[in-house]
């Protein structure tokens, strides 16, 4: 005769396993409809493109998007690296030209060529042949000048080192900010191995290395300094919402660095199908139309019309190639120099 206690215990354990399986299946089903996107603060903010892109993507596909703000773009990548053994994100947004080498070396992304890439993305904006990243916008780094300040705008990158600009320049920490890394890359492209000499001359003129673009540009518009590193398109924002031409992007004869921002699929992502769908959507005309008045960058899709306010963004004829040197190693050298 079977032991009644054993039968009861077997029934309890069996019910528990059934419940655990059912709950796990439900979690898996829910995760298959959720796309977790890591992005930088301004992308996710209420005035950034994230909320509208989320709404449009959800309506179009039936997926649910969870936007996670990670700080600046460098912090998006570093968080994904920390979680590499157990990825939580499906998509990383904001990995740009200056971070591409680090992203590749980290192994946190897998290549994916989005549908419509040939139609929407010009060859010169493709970040790599293997499509480790999907480009979605681009901009040109520039020094922005407050024309109502008491300084004469510098006419070149070299003039930024002049005594007239002592403590008058706001830059961003290149470890945490893509504009910060972009400015460093700009000096490397112009001065080559002598870029540290340039930073030595520039050092007295730097008011602060802000932790990110939001903080640095906020100090600038608050009047803390009349010069800041940003993009040629930044004056378009002030023209659009303030009808103001107070802030002007300066074009220097040495040439400028172009930033291309990309998004990538996380290796081992919980929802790779959803990640692929999001990347497909990101380069569509529907998504690209959101970017000019929220991201204040040029969409990669050249067929997207630009607002009239973009006339405030000067054309840059000389775009410099990214420097051959190790940007991360250069960061260490420059930050050591600035700390002395």
- Measured CA to CA in angstroms, residue 190 lies from 7, 96, 99, 183, 186 at distances of 80, 20, 19, 11, 6
Residue 91 and residue 264: Cα distance in Å, rounded?
6
Domains and CATH numbers, the chain: 34-138+259-311 (3.40.190.10), 139-258+313-339 (3.40.190.10)
Which residues, in sequence order, are CB contacts of 277 under 8 Å at separation 6+?
A: 35, 57, 61, 63
Grouping H, G, I as helix, E, B as strand and the rest as coil, residue 7 is: helix
Residue 1 has what pLDDT? 39
Q: Copy the structure tokens of residue 30.
A: 């829910």
- Calculate ∠ Cα 179-233-243, nearest 5°: 130
Span 79-118, pLDDT tens digits: 999 999 999 999 999 999 999 999 999 999 999 999 999 9
Q: Which ranges of 32-116 would DSSP assign to H, the alpha helix? A: 41-44, 50-61, 73-82, 100-106
> Minimal CA–CA distance to 340: which of 207, 204, 227?
204
Residue 29 has what pLDDT? 56
- What pTM was computed for the model? 0.88
Residue-level pLDDT, tens digit, the chain, 340 residues: 334 333 333 334 444 433 443 444 445 556 689 999 999 999 999 999 999 999 999 999 999 999 999 988 989 999 999 999 999 999 999 999 999 999 999 999 999 999 999 999 999 999 999 999 999 999 999 999 999 999 999 999 999 999 999 999 999 999 989 999 999 999 999 999 999 999 999 999 999 999 989 899 999 999 999 999 999 999 999 999 999 999 999 999 999 999 999 999 999 999 999 999 999 999 999 999 999 999 999 999 989 999 999 999 999 999 999 998 889 899 999 999 999 9
Q: Is 96 exposed, middle or buried (0-12, 13-18, 19+ CB in 10 A)?
A: buried
Q: Copy the structure tokens of residue 186.
A: 């700009």
Q: Is 282 exposed, middle or buried (0-12, 13-18, 19+ CB in 10 A)?
A: buried
Which residues, in sequence order, are CB contacts of 316 under 8 Å at separation 6+?
A: 140, 142, 232, 251, 255, 256
Residue 228, CB-side half-sphere exposure with 13 Å CA sphere = 28
Partnered with residue 231 across adjacent β-strands are: 141
Residue 334 and residue 196: Cα distance in Å, rounded?
6
């Amino acid at each position: 005769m079977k032991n009644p206690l054993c039968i009861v215990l077997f029934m309890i354990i069996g019910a528990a396993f059934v419940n655990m399986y059912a709950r796990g299946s439900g979690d898996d089903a829910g995760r298959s409809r959720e796309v977790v996107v890591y992005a930088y603060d301004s992308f996710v903010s209420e005035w950034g493109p994230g909320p509208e892109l989320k709404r449009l993507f959800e309506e179009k596909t039936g997926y649910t998007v969870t936007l996670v703000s990670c700080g600046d773009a460098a912090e998006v990548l570093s968080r994904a690296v920390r979680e590499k053994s157990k990825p939580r994100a499906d998509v990383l947004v904001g990995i740009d030209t200056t971070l591409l080498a680090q992203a590749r070396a980290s192994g946190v992304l897998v290549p994916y060529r989005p549908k419509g890439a040939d139609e929407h993305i010009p060859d010169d904006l493709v970040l790599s042949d293997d499509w480790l990243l999907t480009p979605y916008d681009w901009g040109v780094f520039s020094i922005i000048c407050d024309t109502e300040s008491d300084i004469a705008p510098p006419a070149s990158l070299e003039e930024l080192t002049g005594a007239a600009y002592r403590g008058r320049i706001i830059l961003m920490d290149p470890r945490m900010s893509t504009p910060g890394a972009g400015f460093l890359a700009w000096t490397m492209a112009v001065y080559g191995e002598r870029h540290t000499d340039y930073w030595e001359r520039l050092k007295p003129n730097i008011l602060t290395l802000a932790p990110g673009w939001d903080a640095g540009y906020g100090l600038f518009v608050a009047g803390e300094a009349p010069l800041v590193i940003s993009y040629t398109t930044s004056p378009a924002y002030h023209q659009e919402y303030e009808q103001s031409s107070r802030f002007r992007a300066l074009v220097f004869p040495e040439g400028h660095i172009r930033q291309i921002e990309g998004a990538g699929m996380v290796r081992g992502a919980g929802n790779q199908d959803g990640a692929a769908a999001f990347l497909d959507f990101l380069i569509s005309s529907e998504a690209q139309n959101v970017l000019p008045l929220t991201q204040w960058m040029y969409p990669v899709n050249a067929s997207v019309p630009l607002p009239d306010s973009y006339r405030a963004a000067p054309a840059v004829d000389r775009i410099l190639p990214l420097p051959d040197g190790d940007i991360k190693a250069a960061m260490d050298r420059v930050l050591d120099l600035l700390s002395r």
